[in-house]
A and B are shown apart, each in its own frame.
Chain A
Amino acid sequence: MKFWIEDLPVLFPYPRIYPEQYAYMCDLKRTLDAGGHCVLEMPSGTGKTVSLLSLIVAYQQHYPEHRKLIYCSRTMSEIEKALAELKALMKYRTDQLGQEEEFRGLGLTSRKNLCLHPSVKREKSGSVVDARCRSLTAGFVKEKKERGEDVDLCIYHDNLDLLEPHNLIPPGVWTLDGMLRYGEQQKQCPYFTARRMMPFCNVIIYSYHYLLDPKIAERVSKELSKDCIVVFDEAHNIDNVCIESLSIDLTEDSLRKAARGANNLEKKISEMKSTDADKLQSEYAKLVEGLREADTARDEEAFVSNPALPDDLLKEAVPGNIRRAEHFTAFLKRFIEYLKTRMKVLHVISETPPSFLQHLKELTFIEKKPLRFCAERLTSLVRTLELTNIEDFQPLQEVASFATLVATYDTGFLLILEPFESDTATVPNPIMHFTCLDAAIAIKPVFDRFSSVIITSGTISPLEMYPNLLGFTTVVEESYAMTLARRSFLPMIVTRGSDQGQISSGFQTRNDPANVRNYGNLLIEFSKLTPDGIVVFFPSYLYMESVISMWQGMGILDQVWKSKLILVETPDSQETSLALETYRTACSNGRGAMLLCVARGKVSEGIDFDHHYGRTVLCIGVPFQYTESRILKARLEFLEDKYKIRPNDFLSFDAMRHSAQCLGRVLRGKDDYGIMVMADKRFGKKRNQLPKWISSALMESDANMSVDQAVASAKRFLKTMSKPFPANLQEGVSTWSYEDLMEHKRKLEAEQIREEKNGEVNGNMNGHVHGDQVMAEAQAAEEDMEDSDLDAAMMEIDA
């Protein structure tokens, strides 16, 4: 359908639209017009991606600037889904407009997924594929070939050079599969096609890391212009992604490998000195001049790039004492040796970068400045030496980027050395965590560079937390409720067992047999009443294991067994995917199954339990993080110091976003239904931290139930759900046709005029349609219609 938002014609590829989708698009447009950042929360399964894409594509095509869209998602499957949506959208647009638009949409993923080279693509590990690909495609390999040496090249990559550089692939939307097919047909490399076509695309879809991880971002995403629209989808975990991308863990093993790498470098240097001293000399000369490698053509093969560094530093010349290659390797060796010495300490150390540097200087006379250039110098050296077997140097590179980071940032980072694995261990296995505490550091370049950054997810409450954590300001922060023609999901908070004893996974009571038995009863009851699949989330693997063994002793599992097949998630991803597959088969056949999993595990993120795959989700306990972890403690301390976020607030926020993710797993659309049970007395106080769409559906009477009450309520709910519900009842309420939309607009305008007459509205509020307003209205309409319509429907059925 086609409609207008203010002056923008939007083509929406479906005949009906949800009210929240419309509101979402309105807010999105407002953000783009204002040129700022926004945080939007829209319930899962309400077509977030398609509304996002259709509005932004309309925006691109309508306005002359043609701002590029960079859509970042979390997993491969989500990227594929988004590409498929985009493809369908563009097809619809072509049909409607009667002409094909000049449009390119591409997805980018790792070499491993896009490689076509017959022997390289058979490799299993991603890093091996990367390394082998580099050895076949690097610029100097090609030079060697031209000089007549006998080296292997990748034919797929070479064919690209024969094409026009801005037209490697015809316009259109290319899914990853489509790219592979096209590449096979034309004998060209899909990975490099995507990489090189990025500046010429209208839409790029890739993973977060290509933008957030500074080691990759500089290479992949640097040509993107400032007015790009950046979207982070499924962004509820974005702060952790940011932190992980700048954190480095070093072990004794990796240090040993790094030392070996340094020795290898030394050998290579002496080899090169005897054969091709000019090259080293010319590199040295370049470094003396402070020239940076301006060779952009080579950039895409670069081995590593710098961690997030301030620009002024990047322009400076490499310090004199690591200019010579042999000086640099000696420098690296000294640094590694120092780290090894530090590893021998037998007590926990946590120190800030400045004090680390001070100690380093006292012991080894390594100054801060050369340390800062470590990563860059290593890159340059590796390039000069023309090394192809780069995976050997991975640990060395890690040490180098560690050096660079530790010398660059004084605050926001902490070094934690843990000599023992656990408190009781006696054999030391030291590990040095260099942890980033401030999520804002990694994402800052993104906010600085792009004018519109949109952060969106199904569960991103409380909204104001994210701008605070990531250090940006928003123009729009909005959370949408879900308009439903009937109450299709039932959130409940169970605080007491059937014996009226309180249930909680709190530390004091978690292993109390009465508590565990109450949880067990809850499990039995729901396994009896739920049709098809049940998903159960525990706060941690450890707790899950202990509870399951206790249940086994109590005979609870035997009872569950009568009605459901029981499957368990394990840390091993292979095992888990097998369990998932079995679970799906069991849900599709027979009595259904029960999946026991962990709230921070693989299952809780990114795996959908739509329809009969999940009718009930049980959250056993609040999924708090392991609070004894030193890294977490440091982060909490930092958050309190810098952002004035109290430790308890943050912990509870983090726990609630994970439980919201878990709860959202079962409801994947408006025709879906499910029960959400939060079983912990502590959920009672945290209700308001749930996403709006869940908390608004959570009724006061359902917020403090015992197991028996919950069972009764769930039974009642399932009874209503089992009645047939024809789709036409949703029309005009939770789905709008074009007429409904126009009706809504008219109403809104009338409202506006009335308000203007009353003179109560200030000027900039009436310029746009406010999300809340739309929602409220839809809700009201729904209430009006529900009774009469339902009755009518019932009568129809009876008749």
Chain B
Amino acid sequence: MSRQAQSRPQPTTRRPADSEGQDEICPVCKSSRYLTPTLRFLINPECYHKFCESCVDRIFSHGPAPCPIPGCHKTLRKHKFRTPTFSDLQVEREVDIRKKVGAVFNRREEEFEDLRAYNDYLNEVEDITFNLINKLEVEETEKRFKAYQRAHEREITENASLAEQERASFAALQKEEREQARSRREAARREDAEEKRQLEENRRDVLNRLASGQDAESVAKAGQQVHLKKRMDRAAAAERQRQLQAASASNGSGNVVIKGLRAKQKQEPEASVDPFGGLSFEGRKYYALQDDYVWAGVQETKADVLIGAGGYDVGAFTGRALCEAFAGLGVFVGDEMDERDREKMGKENDEMATKGAEVAATKGGNAAKGKVKDVKMEDPF
């Protein structure tokens, strides 16, 4: 102990940080901590000037009043006064501003795909905060701030709730861990006691048997063996316990969410919309679509402003007309008949094989047939 005391520097004054002169004196009533040891200071987040409690009561009890510090013309209300957390009021103010900024700029690391972007975001947020704290370019910063808030309203609330959840789960985890540690220690203590008790019991047992007049040597040997066996059992149990714990520990670490950047997903290029499910009407083997046709109907329609204004395109009409005209050419009836026959055979086989699955089979068969038909439809030209 004395060595410990040696290594520790002696306190020169009680609270050196606070005793730097005016910190301890109320600027309004000039009462100092030296004379009133119960002195408490309060601040108002409007201007961060601090007054003693009794001054606050005196000045602001009758409603809002201007700050009594000369030069500060802010109007303060009593209910806004609170005890400062930090002794450095600059930091107090900074933290309040951070609270405000942090509530809005709460994007999480998981939302970013690369570190650089995240760091840039952090940098930007810090810039805004810094400007607000040091009152640089206040208006512009405020504008940026507001703009961001408006733009990301939904994400902000979402992230806020996420953070809340996280906090709750962290607290729960902590509690659980403490509980576990406690129970482990308890178990160890119990085990120790048990061990001691058994040892004692064993000894008593040996003594009893000796007293009852058994052969001393064999009794001693038997006692030792029992003792040895018990110890081995305990060792094995301890080993099992350890393994169990190791296993649970590894499980435990599995639950822990590893925070970090969002996993990088290669965005697949979005497939273009295909309303016909893979059927292609573009394979125009048998005809070519022209831009223009020399036919009065087409020409007139094209020239009519009224029709064009509605968004009607003559091309759609000509294309469709041609498509319909050549539609039958890609279908070979003979081949298709053969195909159908083969299918029927297959279906019959199925039926023979499993009667129980008949319904399913027919259903499946129907579906299959439908599909086959679809497939057949492919490339009709």
A132 touches B (CB below 8 Å):
no
Q: Which residue of A lies closest to B119 (CB)?
A: A320
Segment 292-345 of A: residues with Cβ below 8 Å from B: 316-324, 326-327, 330, 333-334, 337-338, 340-341
User: CA separation between A626 and B1, bound complex, in Å?
Assistant: 8
Q: Are A365 and B98 in contact (CB under 8 A)?
A: yes
Q: Which residues of A contact B120 (CB under 8 A)?
A: 288, 320
Q: Which residue of A lies closest to B124 (CB)?
A: A320
Q: How extensive is the interface on chain B, given as a class? A: 35 or more
User: CA separation between A258 and B369, bound complex, in Å?
Assistant: 82
User: CA separation between A637 and B177, bound complex, in Å?
Assistant: 14
Least CB distance, A314 to chain B, in whole angstroms: 14
Segment 1-28 of B: residues with Cβ below 8 Å from A: 1-6, 8-11, 14, 16-17
Q: Which residues of A contact B130 (CB under 8 A)?
A: 324, 326-327, 330
Q: Which residue of A lies closest to B130 (CB)?
A: A327
Q: Which residues of A contact B174 (CB under 8 A)?
A: 354-355
Q: Are B125 and A321 in contact (CB under 8 A)?
A: yes
Q: Which residues of B contact A316 (CB under 8 A)?
A: 115
Least CB distance, A647 to chain B, in whole angstroms: 9
Given contacts A341-B86, A421-B5, contact A321 B122 (CB under 8 A): yes
User: CA separation between A629 and B5, bound complex, in Å?
Assistant: 12
User: CA separation between A109 and B98, bound complex, in Å?
Assistant: 47
Q: Which residues of A contact B123 (CB under 8 A)?
A: 320-321, 323-324
Q: Are A641 and B184 in contact (CB under 8 A)?
A: yes
Q: Which residues of A contact B87 (CB under 8 A)?
A: 337, 340-341
Segment 406-444 of A: residues with Cβ below 8 Å from B: 421-422, 427-429, 431
Chain A CB within 10 Å — which of B14, B122, B184, B188 has the most? B122
Q: Are B6 and A337 in contact (CB under 8 A)?
A: no
- Which residue of B16, B85, B127, B170 is within 8 Å of A256 (Cβ)? B16
Q: Which residues of B contact A364 (CB under 8 A)?
A: 91, 95, 98
User: CA separation between A545 and B2, bound complex, in Å?
Assistant: 10
Segment 227-284 of B: residues with Cβ below 8 Å from A: 238, 242
Q: Are B2 and A317 in contact (CB under 8 A)?
A: no
Q: Are A320 and B118 in contact (CB under 8 A)?
A: yes
User: CA separation between A458 and B160, bound complex, in Å?
Assistant: 60
B320 touches A (CB below 8 Å):
no
Q: Which residues of B contact A251 (CB under 8 A)?
A: 8-9
- Which residue of B85, B119, B188 is within 8 Å of A319 (Cβ)? B119
Given contacts A365-B95, A541-B2, contact A340 B17 (CB under 8 A): yes
- Which residue of A324, A338, A429, A626 is within 8 Å of B10 (Cβ)? A429
A640 touches B (CB below 8 Å):
yes
Given contacts A571-B2, A571-B3, contact A644 B242 (CB under 8 A): yes
Q: Which residues of B contact A323 (CB under 8 A)?
A: 119, 123, 126
Q: Which residues of B contact A545 (CB under 8 A)?
A: 2
Q: Are A320 and B3 in contact (CB under 8 A)?
A: no
Given contacts A323-B119, A323-B123, A541-B2, contact A341 B9 (CB under 8 A): no
B381 touches A (CB below 8 Å):
no
- Which residue of B116, B167, B188, B238 is within 8 Å of A317 (Cβ)? B116
User: CA separation between A422 and B188, bound complex, in Å?
Assistant: 31
Q: Which residues of B contact A9 (CB under 8 A)?
A: none
User: CA separation between A540 and B122, bound complex, in Å?
Assistant: 53
A358 touches B (CB below 8 Å):
yes
A363 touches B (CB below 8 Å):
yes
Please encode chain A, from 537 to 552, with 1 for each CB lying within 8 Å of some chain B CB and 0 for all others.
0001110010000000
User: CA separation between A583 and B340, bound complex, in Å?
Assistant: 116
Q: Are B11 and A324 in contact (CB under 8 A)?
A: no
Least CB distance, B372 to chain A, in whole angstroms: 56
Given contacts A320-B120, A365-B98, A641-B184, contact A571 B16 (CB under 8 A): no
Q: Which residues of B contact A288 (CB under 8 A)?
A: 116, 119-120
Given contacts A320-B123, A341-B86, A365-B99, contact A637 B17 (CB under 8 A): no
B145 touches A (CB below 8 Å):
no
Please encode chain B, from 60 to 80, with 1 for each CB lying within 8 Å of some chain A CB and 0 for all others.
000000000000000000000
A290 touches B (CB below 8 Å):
yes
A756 touches B (CB below 8 Å):
no
Q: Are B102 and A365 in contact (CB under 8 A)?
A: yes
Q: Which residues of A contact B122 (CB under 8 A)?
A: 319-321
Q: Are A358 and B126 in contact (CB under 8 A)?
A: no
Given contacts A334-B91, A341-B86, A364-B95, contact A429 B8 (CB under 8 A): yes
How many residues of chain A are within 8 Å of chain B by beta carbon? Answer: 49
Given contacts A288-B119, A358-B170, A365-B99, contact A253 B126 (CB under 8 A): no
Segment 147-203 of A: residues with Cβ below 8 Å from B: none
Q: Are B116 and A324 in contact (CB under 8 A)?
A: no
Least CB distance, B134 to chain A, in whole angstroms: 9
A646 touches B (CB below 8 Å):
yes
Q: Are A253 and B98 in contact (CB under 8 A)?
A: no
Q: Which residues of A contact B102 (CB under 8 A)?
A: 365
B181 touches A (CB below 8 Å):
yes
Q: Are A421 and B119 in contact (CB under 8 A)?
A: no
A777 touches B (CB below 8 Å):
no
Least CB distance, B145 to chain A, in whole angstroms: 16
- Which residue of A253, A338, A640 is within 8 Å of B9 (Cβ)? A253
Q: Are A337 and B126 in contact (CB under 8 A)?
A: no
A386 touches B (CB below 8 Å):
no
Segment 157-199 of B: residues with Cβ below 8 Å from A: 167, 170, 174, 181, 184-185, 188, 192
User: CA separation between A626 and B2, bound complex, in Å?
Assistant: 11
A702 touches B (CB below 8 Å):
no
Least CB distance, B206 to chain A, in whole angstroms: 21
Q: Which residues of A contact B242 (CB under 8 A)?
A: 644
Please encode chain A, from 599 to 637, with 1 for each CB lying within 8 Å of some chain B CB and 0 for all others.
000000000000000000000000000100100000001
User: CA separation between A648 and B140, bound complex, in Å?
Assistant: 65
Q: Which residues of A contact B343 (CB under 8 A)?
A: none
User: CA separation between A422 and B109, bound complex, in Å?
Assistant: 45
Please encode chain A, from 22 to 36, with 1 for each CB lying within 8 Å of some chain B CB and 0 for all others.
000000000000000
User: CA separation between A319 and B4, bound complex, in Å?
Assistant: 39
Least CB distance, B20 to chain A, in whole angstroms: 10
- Which residue of A290, A322, A571, A629 is within 8 Å of B115 (Cβ)? A290
Q: Which residues of A contact B2 (CB under 8 A)?
A: 541-542, 545, 571
Q: Are A317 and B119 in contact (CB under 8 A)?
A: yes
User: CA separation between A252 and B8, bound complex, in Å?
Assistant: 11
Q: Are A321 and B126 in contact (CB under 8 A)?
A: yes
Q: Which residues of B contact A324 (CB under 8 A)?
A: 123, 126-127, 130
Least CB distance, A141 to chain B, in whole angstroms: 32
B94 touches A (CB below 8 Å):
yes
- Which residue of B94, B99, B185, B188 is within 8 Å of A334 (Cβ)? B94
Q: Which residues of B contact A421 (CB under 8 A)?
A: 5, 8
Please encode chain A, from 338 to 376, with 1 for each CB lying within 8 Å of some chain B CB and 0 for all others.
101100000000000011001000011100010000000
Q: Which residues of A contact B113 (CB under 8 A)?
A: none
- Which residue of B11, B109, B181 is within 8 Å of A427 (Cβ)? B11
B374 touches A (CB below 8 Å):
no
User: CA separation between A540 and B99, bound complex, in Å?
Assistant: 51
Segment 42-65 of B: residues with Cβ below 8 Å from A: none
Segment 80-110 of B: residues with Cβ below 8 Å from A: 85-88, 91, 94-95, 98-99, 102, 109
User: CA separation between A749 and B192, bound complex, in Å?
Assistant: 48
Least CB distance, A454 to chain B, in whole angstroms: 29
Least CB distance, B132 to chain A, in whole angstroms: 12
Segment 462-513 of A: residues with Cβ below 8 Å from B: none
Segment 124-160 of A: residues with Cβ below 8 Å from B: none
Q: List 13 A-B contacts (CB under 8 A).
A: A252-B11, A317-B119, A320-B122, A323-B126, A324-B127, A324-B130, A338-B86, A341-B85, A363-B85, A421-B5, A428-B11, A571-B2, A571-B3
Given contacts A327-B126, A340-B88, A365-B98, 12 further A-B contacts (CB under 8 A): A252-B11, A320-B123, A320-B126, A330-B94, A340-B87, A363-B85, A365-B99, A541-B2, A640-B188, A641-B181, A644-B242, A646-B188
Shortest 8 CB-CB distances between A and B: which pairs? Answer: A320-B122, A320-B119, A320-B123, A321-B126, A321-B122, A429-B11, A337-B91, A365-B98
